[in-house]
Amino acid sequence: MMYIKKLVILILISLTLLASGCEEIMNFKQSSKSLQEPSTEFYILGPDGTAKNYPTDYVLGENGTVIVGIINHEQKPVNYTMEIRLEDTPLPLPDDRKNIYIRNNETWKKAVTITPPFEGTNMSLQFLLYNNDKKEMLENISVPYRDLHLWINVTTQNLSKNTSTPITAI
């Protein structure tokens, strides 16, 4: 009888230690998730969904499409504002492409059509993303939270079929 009591006590102690070890592992996993620095991924893909073949040669009056992606890792839902500018001239965007709400750890990925309104070569096409909770100002100008650039050419006639250019993030 004494042997059974000791065995039961040992089993209870072992189970208690095992349970506290599992709890520590769970607490560690949860705390390591909360230790990740809040961030947002912002990227552009070509119309085929890959990180190449961006439309870079346009004919005035015609358009091209890119896919814009945003992944929220801010550890809370965020309201973003996206702007697209050609040589600092704002281009029109539908409201659902301009004002974007994304829950934590969710992805927003949509096709965006670009129609350049004027001619030029090696022009900066900027994709600007603002986190409405983290608006930063510099001399009364809003500083984008994330930004991407493509370099494009716009002509009155189609002189080239080259549609690829590298993307640069600043």
Asked if residue 161 has pLDDT above 90, the reply is no
Asked if residue 55 has pLDDT above 80, the reply is yes
CATH class, domain 39-169, is mainly beta
Span 56-78, average pLDDT: 96
| DSSP structural state of residue 134 | S
Q: Identify the pLDDT of residue 50.
A: 93
**What is the average pLDDT score of the chain?**
84
Reported confidence tier of residue 4, pLDDT bands at 50, 70, 90 = confident
The Cα 97–Cα 83 span in angstroms is 9
Span 105-134, average pLDDT: 95
Ramachandran area for residue 105 (φ above 0: left; ψ -120 to 50: alpha; else beta)? left
Q: What is the pLDDT of residues 7-49, one digit of tens each?
A: 667 676 776 666 666 566 655 555 555 568 999 999 999 999 9
The Cα 39–Cα 148 span in angstroms is 16
Q: Identify the pLDDT of residue 22.
A: 57
Beta bridge partners of 89: 86
Q: Identify the pLDDT of residue 114.
A: 96
Q: Which of 6-10, 32-36, 94-98, 121-125 has the lowest mean pLDDT?
A: 32-36
Which of 64, 67, 76 has the alpha carbon at shortest distance from 39? 76
